[in-house]
Structure 1
Amino acid sequence: MNSKLIKVFPSWKWGIKRALHSLEALLILILLILIHQTIVDDDGDWRLTSGGRRGNNGSDETEVKEHGKLKSCDLFSGKWVYDNVSYPIYKEQDCSFVNDQLACQKFGRGDLDYQHWRWQPHRCDLPRFNGEKMLEKLRGKRMVFVGDSLNRNQWSSMVCLVQSFIPPTLQSVHVNGNFITFNAIEYNATIAFYWSPLLVESNSDDPINHRIADRIVRIDSIEKHAANWADSDILVFNSYLWWKRATLKVSWETFEKSNGTYEEIEMLRCFEMAIKTWSTWLQSHIHRTKTRLFFVSLSPTHNRAEEWGKPPTQKCTNETDPIFRDGYWGLDSDPRMMRIVEDAIIDLQSKGLNIEILNITQLSEYRKDGHPSLYGKKWGPPEELANPIRFADCTHWCLPGVPDVWNQLLYAYLFL
C-alpha cells in the first residue's frame, strides 16, 4: 500500500491499518481473476470470456458474442485497409445494375485499387456482406431507397451485392415514374429506388429532367412522394447535395396553382423545415414495429484538390489512394445540416420509431480515389464534354467501391 496513504491513519489505529491490508489483498485477488478472464485480441480490443469457453465458429454462442460486440462498437470510426484477396465482393462486369455513370472500369479506368479497400472499424470487425443471408432477411419484404443520385448509387450497390445469388430467370427490374424496382421473385423481395432529391416536393422531382437552375421547393408537402413508399418494411433516406445553395425559392401552393410568387429562404432554414415535414409524416404514418428506418448522412465530394496538396484544377482526377490523415474533413461537407437530421432522429426515436443514422461521411471523406472522375459516361452539355477535367465527376462513386461499404454498414444494423 502507498506509504503516504498509511500516514493518514494514526499509529494507535493499528486495527484499521490491518483491515486495509486485508482489503488490499482481496482487491489484488479480484484483479488477478479479472485478468485471467480477460484477453486482448490482435487489435487491442478487449473481450470478456465466460470461464474461458469460446464456443465453436458459427455457434449460437459465438454469434451472440459477436452481436453484442457490434452493438457496443462504433462501426463508423476506423481506417481503410488494402485487401486485394477478399475485395471486391462482386465484379463490375458481373452486375448489370452498374450504370454507365458508375462503370469506371468499363470506361477506361486502368487503376483498379479503388475496388480493394476494406473498411476496418477500430475496435471490431465489420461483418462481411452475405447476399444470400440478406435475401432471406428481405423475404416477403420491400426495401426502398428514397433520395437523390447518391442514394441511387447505394441502391445499385445493394442490387449488385445480392444479384449473383438469384438465377437470371428469377429476377426482374421495372422502371415506373420515379421508381426503379428490382424484384427477387423466388424470395418475393423488392429492392427499389425512388427519386426524391429533396424529400419534399420540388420542381426537380422528374427522374430524368431535373437539371433546373431555379430550384423551387414545397417544404410543407411530402404526401405526393410518401404515398409511394408508405407500406415499405425498410426505408433508407438521404438528402443533401440538392440543397447546397445559399437560398432556395419556396412555394406555399401546388405547382399547378402557383401564380409565380415565391418566398426566398436561406438554405439551412429551408432544409430544417423540410426535415420537420419529413419527420412529422413519419410520426403519423410509419408502423413502429414493422418498419425500419435509416437516414444516410452526407456523401462528401472531392472537388478541392488543394485540400490534399494537389493543384486546385485537378479535382479528384488521377487519384489512386485514399487520404490517410485521420479526421480529414472536406470544406464542402456541412455538418450543420447533419446536426439538423440528428436532432430530428433523436426526437423520432423518443417517440418509438425504429430509426438510425448511417454515418458514412467520415469514412467516405478519406476516399478521394473512389469517384468516377473522368471514367464514366457523360450526358452533359457540349461545354462539359469539351472540358472533362473541369467537369470531372467527383460526387458519385465507382462500383464496386465505397457504396458497398455503406451497404455493409446497413447489413450490420439489420442483423444486430
Structure 2
Amino acid sequence: MKPLLPLHRRSHLSSYFLTLSFVTFATILYFQDFTCLLRHPSSTPPLNLNLKEKDDYAMDLPFTIVKGNTSCDIFAGQWVYDEVARPFYAEEECPYIQPQLTCQTHGRPDTGYQHWRWQPNACSLPSFNATLMWEMLRGKRLMYVGDSLNRGQFVSMVCLLHRVLPEDAKSWETFNGDSLTVFTAKEYNASIEFYWAPFLVESNSDNAVIHRVTDRIVRAGSINKHAKHWKGVDILVFNTYLWWMTGTKMKIMRGSFESETKDIKEMETEDAYRLALGRLVMWLEKNVDPNKTRVFFATMSPSHTRSEDWGGEAGGNCYNQTTPINNPVYWGPSTSKSMMQVLKEVFSASRVPVTLLNITQLSEYRKDAHTQIYKKQWNPLTPEQLANPRSYADCNHWCLPGLQDTWNEVLYTKLFFP
C-alpha cells in the first residue's frame, strides 16, 4: 500500500484550534441530540450484547468527544419514515457505489427504503457531521475488515464523507490484488479502507474477485496473512458471519494450502467460529494499543429469504417488499443466537476493548432494504432471472443509500460518544 500523503503546511496551533472548535461544537450538538424522548415503550431484544466489563468506562477510549448516555440503548428502537432528513445522499451523487448495490440505476421502482430513520426508544442519535468526522480522523486510518457486507458499510461511509471534499483532494485506489481498497482525503492525511477477509482467518475464499467456492475451508489459527495489512490502523471495524453459515459443519485445515497433503477435519460451526474469533482476539492483544486504537465488531446482518417468517405470503422473499417489519420482537431464522452468544463470550474475555455494533435487531426489521433483483453482480440478471425473483432476488445485500448508512450512524455514535 502506498504511504499516506504528508500533511499540508500549516501551523500546529491553527490545526489544534480548528479541531478544538469542532469538538466543542459537536459537544453542544451532542447534548441537544441525546435528550430523552421516552415516547415509545421499549422492547427487549432477543439477546443482550452489551459488554459490561472494562470496555467503555474504565478508560478514556481514543476518539471520545464526550461520554454517551449509558442509560440509553441505541440499538433498541423503531424505524421512522422521514422524507426530510433521509437519505443523506442520492445514489447518483456517490460514484463509489458498486453496481451490486445501485438499486435505482438497475430499475427499482420505489424509493421509500431510503427514507427510514432509526429512532432509539429513549434518546436520539447525534447528528452525523462529515466535517467533524474528517477533523477527528486527521492523520488517521479507518479500516473495515470482512466480507461484502462490510464492504457495503465501507462504501456507505465513503458516500457519507466524500461530498465535503474537493474533487482534487480525494482518491480511490486498490492494492494487493483488489483485497485492499483505500479512499484517501489528502487535505486531512486520512484514509477510509476496506480489506477483504470473509472469515478473518486464512481460507480458500480469500481472493477478492474469485471467491465463490462451495467447499469452504478455513485454515486453523492462521490470521497473519491478512492481519499484516491491519497493523497501524487507528480504527478497525470487523465483521464475519454469513460465510460460516453453510448449513453443514465447517472444514478446518491444519498446515498450508500449498501442501500436497492436507490435514482437514470438520467442526461444528460455533466451535469453528469461536476458534477464528479467538485468534482475532489473540492478534488484537498482541498488536493493538487500546490507548490509541478503537476496535469494533459488527454483529450479524440478517437475510430475508422467506416471507412466511414475518407473516407474508407463502413462497415469497424480500422481493417487492417496500416497508419494514413492524413487529418489535421479530427475529428471523437467518440469525443464529448461538453464534451471537459466541461473539459475546469471546469478546467479553478480550483484554483489548472490542465494541460490538449490534446492528442485527434493527436490520431484522428491514425486509424492504435489500437489493432484490435491482443489481448487477458480474453481469446484469438475464430476462429469465428477472422474471423469477423468488429464485434470484438477493436478500442478503442492501441498497445504497439505505440501511447501511444507519450502521455508520451507530458507528459514529459509538466512536465519538461511547
> Fold match, TM over 0.5?
yes
- SS of aligned partner of 1:114: helix
Q: Distance in 1 between matches of 2:272 and 2:410?
A: 30
Deviates more, 1:66-75 or 1:240-249: 66-75
Q: State which of 316, 321, 343 in structure 2 corresponds to 1:341.
A: 343
1:198, 1:239 within 8 Å by CA — same for their partners in 2? yes
**How far apart in 1 are the matches of 2:173 and 2:209?**
16
Q: How do 1:230-379 residues align onto structure 2 when only pairs under 5 Å count? A: 230-245=231-246, 246-348=248-350, 351=351, 353-379=352-378
Cα 1:360–1:122 shift into 2, 3 Å:
same
Distance 1:314 1:372 in 2: 15
- Residue 95 of structure 1: CA displacement? 0.3
Deviation (angstroms), 1:73: 1.2
SS of match in other structure, 1:180: strand
Question: Residue 325 of structure 1: SS of its match in structure 2?
Answer: coil
For 2:119, the aligned partner's letter is: Q
Separation in 2, partners of 1:356, 1:41: 23
Instruction: Determine the C-alpha separation between the residues in 1 that align with 2:346 and 2:270.
Output: 14
State the distance in 1 between where 2:386 and 2:228 align: 38
| In the alignment, structure 1 residue 187 sits paired with structure 2 residue 188 | yes
C-alpha contact (below 8 Å) 1:289/1:354 kept by paired residues: no
Q: Hey, what's the Cα distance between the residues in 2 that align with 1:266 and 1:398?
A: 33
C-alpha distance in structure 1 between counterparts of 2:412 and 2:97, whole Å: 20
**3-state DSSP of counterpart to 1:172:** strand
Distance 1:277 1:377, change over 3 A: same
How far apart are the structure 2 equivalents of 1:412 and 1:272? 28
Following superposition, the deviation at residue 219 of structure 1 comes to 2.3
Q: CA contact under 8 A between 1:291 and 1:354: conserved in structure 2? A: no
**Greater shift after overlay, 118-127 or 312-321?**
312-321
Q: Is 1:84 aligned with 2:86?
A: no
Q: Distance in 2 between matches of 1:329 and 1:253?
A: 39
**Matched residue of 2:212: which SS?**
coil
| Residue correspondence of structure 1 range 89-108 to structure 2 within 5 A | 89-108=88-107
Secondary structure at 1:224 match in 2: helix
- Do 1:69 and 1:124's aligned partners in 2 also have CA atoms closer than 8 Å? no
For residue 272 of structure 1, report the CA deviation from its aligned partner.
Answer: 1.0
Structure 1 residue 42 displacement after superposition: 5.2
Q: Note the alpha carbon deviations across 1:308-335, whole angstroms, 9 max, x for none.
A: 2223432100100000001100011101
Q: Do 2:91 and 2:401's aligned partners in 1 also have CA atoms closer than 8 Å?
A: yes
Question: Which stretches in structure 2 are left out of the alignment for 5+ residues?
Answer: 1-34, 41-64
Q: For residues 136-180 of structure 1, what are the alpha-carbon distances to aligned partners after superposition, in whole Å with 9 as ceiling and x for unaligned?
A: 111100011000000001000000000101111110011112101
1-side partners of 2:159 and 2:136: how far apart? 16
> Larger Rg: 1 or 2?
1
Work out whether residues 310 and 330 of structure 2, in 8 Å CA contact, stay in contact via their aligned partners in 1. no
When the two structures are superposed, what TM-score results if normalisation uses the length of structure 2? 0.81
CA offsets 1:222-276 (integer angstroms, 9 cap, x no match) = 0110000111000000000000022121110111125144112221111111111
Partners of 1:264 and 1:42 in 2: how far apart? Answer: 50
Residues in 1 aligned to 2:90 and 2:334: alpha-carbon distance in whole angstroms? 31
Question: Which amino acid in structure 2 is aligned with residue 339 of structure 1?
Answer: Q
- Distance in 1 separating the partners of 2:385 and 2:225: 34
Q: 8 Å contact 2:147–2:240 — kept in the other structure? A: yes
Percent identical across equivalent pairs?
46
| Structure 1: 4+ residue segments shifted above 6 A | 380-383
| 2: CA distance, partners of 1:93 / 1:386 | 26
Instruction: Identify which of structures 1 and 2 has the higher relative contact order when contacts are C-alpha pairs closer than 8 Å and 6+ apart.
Output: 2
Shift of 1:385: 6.7
**Amino acid aligned to 1:357:** L
Could you say which residue in structure 2 is the equivalent of 1:33? Answer: none
Q: Relative to 1, partners in 2 of residues 1:248 and 1:69: Cα closer, same or farther, differing over 3 Å?
A: closer
8 A Cα contact 2:277 2:346, kept in partner:
yes
Q: 2:206 corresponds to which residue?
A: 205
Structure 1 counterpart of 2:327, one-letter code: R
Compute the displacement of 1:126 (Å): 0.7
- Within 5 Å, give how 1:74-223 maps onto structure 2: 74-177=73-176, 178-223=179-224
Matched position secondary structure for 2:395:
coil
TM-score, normalised to structure 1, is: 0.82
Deviation digits for residues 88-133 of structure 1 (CA, Å, limit 9, x no counterpart): 1111100011111111111111210100000000000011211111
SS in 2 for 1:230: coil
Aligned-partner Cα distance in 2 for 1:193–1:312: 38
Contact 2:39-2:121 at 8 Å conserved across structures:
no
Report the Cα offset of residue 415 of structure 1: 1.1
CA shift in 2, pair 1:339/1:258, >3 Å: farther
Superposed displacement of residue 43, structure 1: 3.3
